[in-house]
Structure 1
Protein backbone atom coordinates (compact mmCIF):
# COMPACT_ATOMS: atom_id res chain seq x y z
CA UNK A 1 0.00 0.00 0.00
CA UNK A 2 2.84 2.37 0.87
CA UNK A 3 4.48 1.79 -2.52
CA UNK A 4 1.21 2.54 -4.30
CA UNK A 5 0.78 5.79 -2.39
CA UNK A 6 4.37 6.79 -3.14
CA UNK A 7 3.90 6.04 -6.85
CA UNK A 8 0.75 8.17 -6.92
CA UNK A 9 2.54 11.05 -5.24
CA UNK A 10 5.43 10.86 -7.71
CA UNK A 11 3.00 10.89 -10.62
CA UNK A 12 1.34 14.00 -9.23
CA UNK A 13 4.75 15.64 -8.90
CA UNK A 14 5.53 14.72 -12.51
CA UNK A 15 2.33 16.42 -13.66
CA UNK A 16 3.31 19.54 -11.74
CA UNK A 17 6.78 19.45 -13.32
CA UNK A 18 5.23 19.49 -16.79
CA UNK A 19 3.23 22.57 -15.84
CA UNK A 20 6.41 24.23 -14.57
CA UNK A 21 8.18 23.63 -17.87
CA UNK A 22 5.31 25.08 -19.90
CA UNK A 23 5.54 28.29 -17.88
CA UNK A 24 9.32 28.25 -17.42
CA UNK A 25 10.80 31.67 -16.67
CA UNK A 26 14.12 30.71 -15.06
CA UNK A 27 17.39 30.73 -16.97
CA UNK A 28 18.76 27.51 -15.46
CA UNK A 29 16.86 24.31 -14.72
CA UNK A 30 17.45 20.61 -14.13
CA UNK A 31 15.05 17.81 -14.98
CA UNK A 32 15.74 14.51 -13.23
CA UNK A 33 14.42 11.00 -13.89
CA UNK A 34 14.19 7.94 -11.68
CA UNK A 35 15.32 5.61 -14.48
CA UNK A 36 18.25 5.61 -16.93
CA UNK A 37 17.80 7.02 -20.44
CA UNK A 38 15.31 9.66 -19.27
CA UNK A 39 12.59 7.25 -18.32
CA UNK A 40 10.40 6.82 -15.27
CA UNK A 41 9.08 9.51 -12.98
CA UNK A 42 10.65 12.94 -13.42
CA UNK A 43 10.74 16.32 -11.74
CA UNK A 44 12.09 19.69 -12.83
CA UNK A 45 14.00 21.97 -10.46
CA UNK A 46 14.95 25.62 -10.90
CA UNK A 47 16.25 26.34 -7.42
CA UNK A 48 18.69 24.93 -4.90
CA UNK A 49 17.40 21.82 -3.12
CA UNK A 50 19.21 20.94 0.13
CA UNK A 51 16.92 17.95 0.77
CA UNK A 52 15.69 15.93 -2.18
CA UNK A 53 13.80 13.85 0.35
CA UNK A 54 11.32 16.75 0.50
CA UNK A 55 10.31 15.79 -3.04
CA UNK A 56 10.56 12.02 -2.53
CA UNK A 57 13.56 12.02 -4.87
CA UNK A 58 16.28 11.14 -2.37
CA UNK A 59 18.59 8.46 -3.82
CA UNK A 60 16.33 7.95 -6.85
CA UNK A 61 17.94 9.97 -9.68
CA UNK A 62 19.40 7.95 -12.55
CA UNK A 63 19.42 10.41 -15.47
CA UNK A 64 19.31 14.17 -15.86
CA UNK A 65 18.82 16.98 -18.35
CA UNK A 66 20.21 20.41 -17.50
CA UNK A 67 20.40 23.95 -18.71
CA UNK A 68 23.27 25.71 -16.98
CA UNK A 69 25.61 24.35 -14.32
CA UNK A 70 24.22 21.98 -11.67
CA UNK A 71 26.10 20.27 -8.84
CA UNK A 72 24.71 17.01 -7.44
CA UNK A 73 25.65 15.69 -3.99
CA UNK A 74 25.22 12.31 -2.35
CA UNK A 75 24.51 13.89 1.05
CA UNK A 76 21.87 16.45 2.10
CA UNK A 77 22.85 20.12 2.42
CA UNK A 78 25.45 19.93 -0.35
CA UNK A 79 27.82 17.61 1.53
CA UNK A 80 28.33 20.21 4.25
CA UNK A 81 29.08 17.59 6.89
CA UNK A 82 30.62 14.86 4.74
CA UNK A 83 32.81 15.13 1.66
CA UNK A 84 32.04 12.26 -0.62
CA UNK A 85 30.58 11.74 -4.10
CA UNK A 86 29.93 14.93 -6.06
CA UNK A 87 28.80 15.08 -9.68
CA UNK A 88 28.38 18.12 -11.86
CA UNK A 89 26.29 18.33 -15.01
CA UNK A 90 26.47 21.34 -17.28
CA UNK A 91 25.55 22.57 -20.74
CA UNK A 92 22.66 23.98 -22.74
CA UNK A 93 19.79 21.50 -22.68
CA UNK A 94 22.20 18.59 -22.16
CA UNK A 95 21.23 15.06 -21.13
CA UNK A 96 23.27 12.36 -19.41
CA UNK A 97 22.94 9.15 -17.45
CA UNK A 98 24.47 9.21 -13.98
CA UNK A 99 26.89 6.33 -14.36
CA UNK A 100 28.46 5.54 -10.99
CA UNK A 101 26.33 8.05 -9.06
CA UNK A 102 22.85 6.87 -10.00
CA UNK A 103 20.43 6.44 -7.09
CA UNK A 104 22.86 8.23 -4.76
CA UNK A 105 21.94 11.92 -5.02
CA UNK A 106 20.45 13.65 -1.96
CA UNK A 107 20.81 17.38 -2.77
CA UNK A 108 21.50 19.63 -5.75
CA UNK A 109 22.06 23.27 -6.62
CA UNK A 110 23.00 25.46 -9.56
CA UNK A 111 25.89 27.87 -10.12
CA UNK A 112 25.49 31.31 -11.67
CA UNK A 113 22.64 33.75 -12.07
CA UNK A 114 19.04 32.59 -12.33
CA UNK A 115 17.99 35.80 -14.12
CA UNK A 116 20.65 36.31 -16.82
CA UNK A 117 22.13 33.64 -19.07
CA UNK A 118 25.94 33.33 -18.95
CA UNK A 119 26.24 36.33 -16.66
CA UNK A 120 29.89 37.04 -15.84
CA UNK A 121 30.27 35.93 -12.24
CA UNK A 122 31.68 33.40 -9.80
CA UNK A 123 30.51 30.95 -7.16
CA UNK A 124 32.79 30.61 -4.15
CA UNK A 125 32.53 27.43 -2.06
CA UNK A 126 33.67 26.91 1.51
CA UNK A 127 34.51 23.26 0.76
CA UNK A 128 36.56 21.58 -1.91
CA UNK A 129 34.69 20.07 -4.86
CA UNK A 130 31.99 22.80 -4.65
CA UNK A 131 30.64 21.66 -1.28
CA UNK A 132 29.39 23.45 1.84
CA UNK A 133 28.39 27.13 1.95
CA UNK A 134 28.50 29.10 -1.31
CA UNK A 135 28.55 32.76 -2.31
CA UNK A 136 27.63 34.09 -5.77
CA UNK A 137 29.10 37.37 -6.97
CA UNK A 138 29.40 39.51 -10.08
CA UNK A 139 31.59 42.36 -8.85
CA UNK A 140 34.82 43.14 -7.03
CA UNK A 141 35.02 42.29 -3.32
CA UNK A 142 38.02 43.86 -1.55
CA UNK A 143 37.48 41.95 1.70
CA UNK A 144 35.66 38.62 1.74
CA UNK A 145 36.05 38.31 5.49
CA UNK A 146 32.95 40.49 5.91
CA UNK A 147 30.96 37.55 4.50
CA UNK A 148 32.75 35.00 6.72
CA UNK A 149 33.35 33.08 3.51
CA UNK A 150 36.11 30.52 3.19
CA UNK A 151 37.07 29.71 -0.40
CA UNK A 152 38.24 26.17 -1.12
CA UNK A 153 36.83 25.83 -4.67
CA UNK A 154 35.44 28.10 -7.38
CA UNK A 155 33.16 27.95 -10.41
CA UNK A 156 33.50 30.71 -13.00
CA UNK A 157 30.66 31.45 -15.42
CA UNK A 158 30.70 33.90 -18.31
CA UNK A 159 33.37 35.40 -20.52
CA UNK A 160 35.23 37.46 -17.91
CA UNK A 161 38.38 36.42 -16.08
CA UNK A 162 38.72 37.01 -12.33
CA UNK A 163 41.65 37.58 -9.98
CA UNK A 164 41.62 35.91 -6.56
CA UNK A 165 44.06 37.14 -3.91
CA UNK A 166 45.10 35.79 -0.53
CA UNK A 167 44.97 39.15 1.20
CA UNK A 168 42.43 41.97 1.31
CA UNK A 169 42.48 44.77 -1.26
CA UNK A 170 43.86 42.49 -3.97
CA UNK A 171 47.27 42.01 -2.41
CA UNK A 172 49.51 39.08 -1.58
CA UNK A 173 49.58 36.02 -3.82
CA UNK A 174 46.98 36.27 -6.63
CA UNK A 175 45.74 33.80 -9.23
CA UNK A 176 43.86 34.52 -12.47
CA UNK A 177 40.93 32.22 -13.30
CA UNK A 178 38.55 32.07 -16.24
CA UNK A 179 36.12 29.75 -18.01
CA UNK A 180 37.82 26.90 -19.85
CA UNK A 181 34.82 24.97 -21.18
CA UNK A 182 32.19 26.27 -23.57
CA UNK A 183 28.82 25.35 -25.03
CA UNK A 184 26.57 27.26 -27.41
CA UNK A 185 23.43 27.06 -29.51
CA UNK A 186 21.57 29.39 -31.84
CA UNK A 187 20.26 31.46 -28.92
CA UNK A 188 23.01 31.71 -26.33
CA UNK A 189 26.29 30.34 -25.01
CA UNK A 190 27.64 29.05 -21.71
CA UNK A 191 31.23 29.49 -20.52
CA UNK A 192 32.33 27.57 -17.43
CA UNK A 193 35.48 27.11 -15.38
CA UNK A 194 35.63 24.41 -12.69
CA UNK A 195 38.33 24.87 -10.03
CA UNK A 196 37.84 21.95 -7.67
CA UNK A 197 40.62 22.78 -5.20
CA UNK A 198 42.20 26.18 -4.72
CA UNK A 199 45.09 24.40 -3.04
CA UNK A 200 46.02 23.03 -6.48
CA UNK A 201 47.00 26.61 -7.30
CA UNK A 202 48.83 27.12 -3.99
CA UNK A 203 45.97 29.28 -2.73
CA UNK A 204 45.13 28.38 0.86
CA UNK A 205 43.16 31.49 1.65
CA UNK A 206 41.17 33.91 -0.54
CA UNK A 207 40.31 37.29 0.92
CA UNK A 208 39.61 39.43 -2.14
CA UNK A 209 38.39 39.03 -5.72
CA UNK A 210 38.21 41.44 -8.64
CA UNK A 211 37.14 41.33 -12.27
CA UNK A 212 39.83 40.91 -14.90
CA UNK A 213 43.43 39.76 -14.71
Structure 2
Protein backbone atom coordinates (compact mmCIF):
# COMPACT_ATOMS: atom_id res chain seq x y z
CA UNK A 1 0.00 0.00 0.00
CA UNK A 2 1.43 3.41 -0.96
CA UNK A 3 1.99 6.21 1.61
CA UNK A 4 -0.72 8.26 -0.12
CA UNK A 5 -3.26 5.47 0.34
CA UNK A 6 -2.23 5.01 3.95
CA UNK A 7 -2.66 8.75 4.54
CA UNK A 8 -6.15 8.71 3.03
CA UNK A 9 -7.02 5.76 5.26
CA UNK A 10 -5.78 7.67 8.30
CA UNK A 11 -7.78 10.76 7.35
CA UNK A 12 -10.95 8.70 7.04
CA UNK A 13 -10.79 7.59 10.68
CA UNK A 14 -12.73 9.66 13.18
CA UNK A 15 -12.36 7.56 16.32
CA UNK A 16 -10.60 9.20 19.25
CA UNK A 17 -6.85 8.93 19.21
CA UNK A 18 -6.67 6.54 22.14
CA UNK A 19 -8.93 4.09 20.29
CA UNK A 20 -7.04 3.79 17.02
CA UNK A 21 -3.58 2.88 15.80
CA UNK A 22 -1.86 5.96 14.40
CA UNK A 23 0.94 5.61 11.84
CA UNK A 24 4.64 5.64 12.53
CA UNK A 25 6.29 8.88 11.50
CA UNK A 26 8.91 8.82 8.77
CA UNK A 27 10.75 11.95 9.91
CA UNK A 28 9.33 13.08 13.26
CA UNK A 29 11.06 11.25 16.08
CA UNK A 30 11.99 11.57 19.73
CA UNK A 31 14.71 9.96 21.85
CA UNK A 32 13.66 9.95 25.49
CA UNK A 33 16.21 9.63 28.32
CA UNK A 34 15.82 8.55 31.93
CA UNK A 35 18.30 11.17 33.17
CA UNK A 36 18.97 14.82 32.48
CA UNK A 37 21.35 16.05 29.78
CA UNK A 38 20.49 13.11 27.52
CA UNK A 39 21.96 10.52 29.86
CA UNK A 40 20.77 7.25 31.31
CA UNK A 41 18.57 4.67 29.66
CA UNK A 42 16.94 5.84 26.44
CA UNK A 43 14.24 4.85 24.00
CA UNK A 44 13.46 6.04 20.46
CA UNK A 45 9.84 6.65 19.42
CA UNK A 46 8.38 7.57 16.03
CA UNK A 47 4.75 6.75 16.75
CA UNK A 48 2.11 7.71 19.32
CA UNK A 49 2.37 5.74 22.56
CA UNK A 50 -0.84 5.74 24.64
CA UNK A 51 0.83 3.97 27.57
CA UNK A 52 4.58 4.20 28.18
CA UNK A 53 4.33 1.38 30.69
CA UNK A 54 4.18 -0.96 27.70
CA UNK A 55 7.83 0.04 27.07
CA UNK A 56 8.74 0.05 30.78
CA UNK A 57 9.27 3.81 30.44
CA UNK A 58 6.35 5.20 32.47
CA UNK A 59 7.19 8.17 34.72
CA UNK A 60 10.81 7.91 33.59
CA UNK A 61 11.60 10.67 31.08
CA UNK A 62 13.86 13.51 32.29
CA UNK A 63 15.27 14.76 28.96
CA UNK A 64 14.75 14.28 25.24
CA UNK A 65 15.97 15.01 21.73
CA UNK A 66 13.14 15.76 19.32
CA UNK A 67 12.57 16.34 15.63
CA UNK A 68 9.09 17.67 14.96
CA UNK A 69 6.40 18.55 17.48
CA UNK A 70 6.09 16.08 20.39
CA UNK A 71 3.60 16.22 23.23
CA UNK A 72 4.02 14.42 26.56
CA UNK A 73 1.13 13.64 28.92
CA UNK A 74 1.05 12.87 32.62
CA UNK A 75 -1.75 10.32 32.18
CA UNK A 76 -2.15 7.43 29.79
CA UNK A 77 -4.24 7.81 26.62
CA UNK A 78 -3.17 11.45 26.21
CA UNK A 79 -5.05 12.56 29.37
CA UNK A 80 -8.31 11.41 27.79
CA UNK A 81 -9.76 9.99 31.01
CA UNK A 82 -7.90 11.88 33.74
CA UNK A 83 -6.60 15.43 33.98
CA UNK A 84 -2.84 15.84 34.13
CA UNK A 85 0.20 17.79 33.04
CA UNK A 86 0.93 18.36 29.35
CA UNK A 87 4.43 19.23 28.12
CA UNK A 88 5.46 19.85 24.52
CA UNK A 89 8.80 20.24 22.72
CA UNK A 90 9.47 21.14 19.09
CA UNK A 91 12.49 21.58 16.87
CA UNK A 92 14.96 19.74 14.65
CA UNK A 93 17.40 17.53 16.56
CA UNK A 94 16.64 19.72 19.57
CA UNK A 95 17.82 18.44 22.96
CA UNK A 96 16.49 19.67 26.28
CA UNK A 97 15.87 18.72 29.90
CA UNK A 98 12.28 18.56 31.04
CA UNK A 99 11.25 21.33 33.41
CA UNK A 100 11.38 20.01 36.96
CA UNK A 101 7.61 19.84 37.42
CA UNK A 102 7.29 17.62 34.33
CA UNK A 103 10.31 15.41 34.92
CA UNK A 104 9.46 11.74 35.59
CA UNK A 105 5.73 12.34 34.95
CA UNK A 106 5.08 11.31 31.32
CA UNK A 107 2.81 8.31 30.82
CA UNK A 108 1.94 8.80 27.11
CA UNK A 109 3.27 10.76 24.14
CA UNK A 110 2.50 11.57 20.50
CA UNK A 111 3.62 13.79 17.64
CA UNK A 112 1.63 16.44 15.76
CA UNK A 113 1.60 16.81 12.00
CA UNK A 114 2.12 14.51 9.04
CA UNK A 115 3.35 10.94 9.35
CA UNK A 116 5.14 11.19 6.00
CA UNK A 117 6.61 14.70 5.63
CA UNK A 118 8.05 16.70 8.54
CA UNK A 119 6.97 20.06 7.15
CA UNK A 120 3.83 19.12 5.23
CA UNK A 121 1.06 21.72 5.32
CA UNK A 122 -1.32 20.21 7.85
CA UNK A 123 -3.70 20.79 10.71
CA UNK A 124 -4.47 18.70 13.77
CA UNK A 125 -7.44 19.45 16.00
CA UNK A 126 -7.94 18.09 19.52
CA UNK A 127 -11.07 17.64 21.58
CA UNK A 128 -9.29 18.65 24.79
CA UNK A 129 -7.43 21.81 25.63
CA UNK A 130 -3.65 21.50 25.61
CA UNK A 131 -3.77 18.92 22.80
CA UNK A 132 -5.35 16.26 24.99
CA UNK A 133 -8.00 13.60 24.33
CA UNK A 134 -9.08 12.83 20.74
CA UNK A 135 -7.14 14.06 17.70
CA UNK A 136 -7.96 14.48 14.01
CA UNK A 137 -5.27 15.16 11.38
CA UNK A 138 -5.80 16.70 7.95
CA UNK A 139 -3.80 18.15 5.08
CA UNK A 140 -6.63 19.34 2.81
CA UNK A 141 -9.83 21.38 3.06
CA UNK A 142 -12.51 19.80 5.22
CA UNK A 143 -16.06 21.12 4.78
CA UNK A 144 -17.02 19.19 7.91
CA UNK A 145 -15.01 17.70 10.74
CA UNK A 146 -17.52 14.90 11.16
CA UNK A 147 -17.71 13.64 14.71
CA UNK A 148 -15.15 16.28 15.68
CA UNK A 149 -17.42 19.13 14.53
CA UNK A 150 -18.19 21.35 17.49
CA UNK A 151 -15.67 19.49 19.64
CA UNK A 152 -12.40 21.34 18.95
CA UNK A 153 -10.57 22.85 21.94
CA UNK A 154 -6.97 23.14 20.67
CA UNK A 155 -5.14 23.20 17.33
CA UNK A 156 -1.67 22.64 15.86
CA UNK A 157 -0.77 23.65 12.28
CA UNK A 158 2.44 22.75 10.45
CA UNK A 159 4.13 23.69 7.18
CA UNK A 160 4.23 26.99 5.33
CA UNK A 161 0.50 27.56 4.70
CA UNK A 162 -2.10 29.41 6.73
CA UNK A 163 -5.36 27.60 7.56
CA UNK A 164 -8.79 29.15 8.13
CA UNK A 165 -11.05 27.55 10.73
CA UNK A 166 -14.81 28.17 10.63
CA UNK A 167 -17.58 27.90 13.17
CA UNK A 168 -19.98 26.61 10.50
CA UNK A 169 -19.78 23.61 8.21
CA UNK A 170 -19.06 24.31 4.56
CA UNK A 171 -16.64 27.16 5.42
CA UNK A 172 -19.35 29.40 6.87
CA UNK A 173 -19.81 31.51 9.99
CA UNK A 174 -17.20 33.29 12.05
CA UNK A 175 -13.65 32.29 11.21
CA UNK A 176 -10.01 32.74 12.17
CA UNK A 177 -6.79 32.43 10.18
CA UNK A 178 -4.01 30.47 11.94
CA UNK A 179 -0.37 30.62 10.87
CA UNK A 180 2.62 28.34 11.55
CA UNK A 181 4.61 31.14 13.20
CA UNK A 182 7.45 29.19 14.84
CA UNK A 183 10.29 28.31 12.47
CA UNK A 184 13.07 25.74 12.79
CA UNK A 185 15.75 25.12 10.19
CA UNK A 186 18.81 22.93 9.78
CA UNK A 187 21.21 22.40 6.89
CA UNK A 188 18.74 20.23 5.00
CA UNK A 189 15.45 20.37 6.88
CA UNK A 190 12.81 22.88 7.89
CA UNK A 191 9.95 22.66 10.37
CA UNK A 192 7.26 25.33 10.83
CA UNK A 193 4.57 25.00 13.48
CA UNK A 194 1.75 27.03 15.01
CA UNK A 195 0.66 26.06 18.52
CA UNK A 196 -2.80 27.00 19.86
CA UNK A 197 -3.46 25.15 23.14
CA UNK A 198 -6.69 26.90 24.20
CA UNK A 199 -9.65 28.60 22.47
CA UNK A 200 -8.36 31.98 23.65
CA UNK A 201 -5.26 31.34 21.54
CA UNK A 202 -7.32 31.09 18.36
CA UNK A 203 -10.06 33.59 19.26
CA UNK A 204 -13.08 31.36 18.66
CA UNK A 205 -15.54 29.92 21.16
CA UNK A 206 -14.60 26.55 22.62
CA UNK A 207 -16.20 23.59 20.83
CA UNK A 208 -17.41 25.73 17.92
CA UNK A 209 -15.15 24.84 14.95
CA UNK A 210 -16.82 22.74 12.24
CA UNK A 211 -14.75 23.18 9.04
CA UNK A 212 -11.27 24.19 7.86
CA UNK A 213 -9.87 25.52 4.57
CA UNK A 214 -6.29 25.99 3.37
CA UNK A 215 -5.14 29.57 3.08
CA UNK A 216 -6.10 32.74 4.95
CA UNK A 217 -9.72 33.59 4.10
CA UNK A 218 -10.84 35.18 7.36
CA UNK A 219 -11.89 38.81 7.53
Please state which band the TM-score falls in when normalised by the shorter chain.
Answer: 0.7 to 0.9
TM-score in terms of structure 1 length = 0.85
2:211 is aligned to 208
Judging changes above 3 Å, is the alpha-carbon distance between structure 1 residues 115 and 149 closer, same or farther for their aligned structure 2 residues? farther
CA distance in 2, matches of 1:104, 1:117: 27
Per the alignment, in what secondary structure is the counterpart of residue 170 of structure 2? helix
* Structure of higher CA gyration radius: 1
2:64 is aligned to 64
How far apart are residue 203 of structure 1 and its match?
2.6
TM-score in terms of structure 2 length = 0.83
The residue correspondences of 1:128-167 to structure 2 (distance < 5 A) are 128-146=129-147, 150-167=151-168
Q: Is the 8 A contact 2:182 2:194 kept in 1?
A: yes
How far apart are residue 117 of structure 1 and its match?
2.1
> Runs ≥4 in structure 1, deviation > 3 angstroms?
146-149
Per the alignment, in what secondary structure is the counterpart of residue 57 of structure 1? coil
CA distance in 1, matches of 2:161, 2:212: 13
Per the alignment, in what secondary structure is the counterpart of residue 132 of structure 1? coil
How far apart are residue 199 of structure 1 and its match?
4.0
Q: Deviations over 1:35-59 (max 9, x none)?
A: 1111110000000000000000000
2:3 is aligned to none
Per the alignment, in what secondary structure is the counterpart of residue 37 of structure 1? coil
CA RMSD of aligned residues (A): 1.6
1:48 is aligned to 48
Structure 1's unaligned 5+ residue stretches are 1-24
Q: Is the 8 A contact 2:124 2:135 kept in 1?
A: yes
CA distance in 2, matches of 1:126, 1:134: 7
Judging changes above 3 Å, is the alpha-carbon distance between structure 1 residues 50 and 146 closer, same or farther for their aligned structure 2 residues? closer
Per the alignment, in what secondary structure is the counterpart of residue 131 of structure 1? coil
Q: Is the 8 A contact 1:167 1:173 kept in 2?
A: yes
Q: Is the 8 A contact 1:83 1:131 kept in 2?
A: no
**Aligned positions, number:** 190
